[in-house]
Amino acid sequence: ARLTRPDLDVLPNYVPGRNPADLARELGLPKAIKLASNEVPYGPLPGVVEAVTEAVVSSHRYPDMGVVALRDALADQYGVAADRIATGCGSVALAEHLVRATCLPGDELLYAWRSFEAYPIIAATSGVTSVQVPNDAGHGHDLAAMAAAVTDRTRMILVCNPNNPTGTSVRRAELDRFLDAVPNDVLVVLDEAYREFVTDPEVPDGLAAYGDRANVVVLRTLSKAWGLAGLRIGFLVGQPAVADAVRKVVTPFSTSLAAQAAALAALTQAEEVRRRSALVVAERERVTELVRKLVPDVPASQANFVWLPLGDRAVDFAKACEARGVIVRPFAGDGVRVTIGTPEENDTFLAAAESALA
């Protein structure tokens, strides 16, 4: 007898980056390089390992479900009230909680496409209708078309800024216009997972620019610039009522003891995060310039990855890179996303890309 929902059969799985140790073994190489999951290559921040080690002494106890100390630290760091903050098991979990907190079955979740691959999965598993608005010719969000796609069933809109996987970003003036056009009973979620890598002053920091807009929520993660991908922690800032609603739908205790301790330690390292992010940004600019010699129409990226719009060649290109020990992320028929690594890793990728496209 069938035990699970038939609609899951056709739903794509979330695809994690391949394990580089497995690939190295397969190829008989001393090591392989993973540039597939938008991680930062510099290891945990100073103090994180010690803080987690100390915290796990209390592993037999539940963590603080109110996440009080961490929410206070986040409030300090970002200059917002703690009652506007909710944390979760990665910002991807918070995106799902926001959908659960705003949408009933049959309601519409609106977002650009292509964007973060988790969005359609979250919509489908929540019984919500995905409305995907195609990106513009430059691979970025078409905010005018997105505003025009709002219906009376639209409950939530995701704006991924910078956008995963294309690296494009929307600017202050267009986002202002968009927010003015969206009805105030629709929640606009600014997914700013890559905010720390933004250098274009025209790209707004959602917290600073839109913190006082009642229907805006800013989603951030500690997985990328803050180096905590493996511990799973993200947070959102919204109106207290929205943060409360999210805390209602959240799986109890899903911000783990280790995650809370790690995040508290990481947040003391803001200066180091800025230093590391600047290294990533410098490499992003270098890689963009060099890879454009091979793939001319690579869009400018404000994130820690670049997008190669290779169309039908995407999967073959990724396979060719893998054969040379470099794991990148293909999106079949569309393009390849390449995370910025260390300078040596990026050089290895560039060499692999050159031979792959030769």
Q: Footprint of ligand PMP on this chain (CB under 6 A)?
A: 38, 90-92, 116, 160, 164, 191, 193, 221, 223, 229, 234
DSSP type of residue 82: G
**Least distance in angstroms from the C-beta of 155 to ligand PMP:** 19
Cβ within 8 Å of residue 214, ≥6 positions away: 184, 239
Tell me whether the omega of the peptide bond preceding residue 162 falls within 30 degrees of 0, making it cis. yes
Extract the tokens encoding 108: 């519409």
Residue 159 or 245 with smaller CB distance to ligand PMP: 159
Q: Is the dihedral of CA 205, 250, 214, 128 positive or negative?
A: positive
CB 167 within 8 A of CB 305: yes
Judged on CB neighbours under 10 Å (0-12, 13-18, 19+), 349 is buried
DSSP type of residue 269: G
The Cα–Cα gap between 33 and 23 comes to 9
Query: What's the length of the chain?
Result: 358
The Cα–Cα gap between 200 and 215 comes to 25
The Cα–Cα gap between 103 and 125 comes to 12
Extract the tokens encoding 145: 């078309």
Extract the tokens encoding 34: 């993973």
Residue of minimal CB distance from ligand PMP? Answer: 90
CB 151 within 8 A of CB 108: yes
Q: Cα torsion for 250, 198, 43, 28, to the nearest 10°?
A: 100
Q: Which amino acid is at 164?
A: N
Alpha-carbon distances, residue 353 vs 134, 155, 167, 290, 296 (angstroms): 28, 42, 19, 10, 13
CB 27 within 8 A of CB 320: no
CB 337 within 8 A of CB 305: yes
CB 159 within 8 A of CB 165: no
